[in-house]
Amino acid sequence: MENCIFCKIVAGEIPAHKVYENDEMIIFKDIEPKAKIHLLCVPKEHFAYLTELNEDRAALLARMMETIARIKDELGLEDGYRLVINQGEAAGQTVHHLHIHILGGEKLDWE
């Protein structure tokens, strides 16, 4: 997808601090962390919104969450973590390539 910043990170065209990669997803550090640990889990396939989920993409999203759970200790998230997906402008979605925010490394407030 042209002009998609996360597609460019997936393609290695712009740098990111990757902490995990497999054939269908990458996890890298958010450039503006909102918690002590703030990572983004991004599918390699470009699609923009949760509202575009189909059966295959829902299964991919489940594998993303399963992967995060499996490697949580390596990511420094052994004490717990929060997953966030912002859907659409009103929720604050600024990058239109689906991504899961992974927040942790400290006690998180709930506002």
How do strand 81-84 and strand 25-29 relate by DSSP bridges? unpaired
Nearer Cβ to ligand 5GP (55/111): 111
Please say which residue, 97 or 103, places its beta carbon nearer to Zn ion.
97
Residue 90 is given by DSSP the state G
| Residues 40-51 as b or e (16 or more Cβ within 10 Å = b) | bbbbeeebeebe
Q: Which is nearer to Zn ion, 26 or 35 (CB)?
A: 26
User: Could you say which of 4, 5, 7, 108 contacts ligand 5GP (CB under 6 A)?
Assistant: 5
State yes or no: residue 92 binds ligand 5GP (CB under 6 A): yes
Binding part of the chain for Zn ion, among 26-34, 39-47, 60-68, 84-92 by CB under 5 A, reads: 39-47
| CA–CA gap between residue 37 and residue 54 (Å, rounded) | 30
Q: Binding mask 7-36 vs Zn ion (x if CB under 5 A, - otherwise)?
A: x-----------------------------
Range 52-81, binding ligand 5GP (CB under 6 A): none
Q: CB neighbours (10 Å) of residue 31?
A: 10
CA distance linking residue 16 with residue 9, whole number of Å: 6
Catalytic center residues: 99
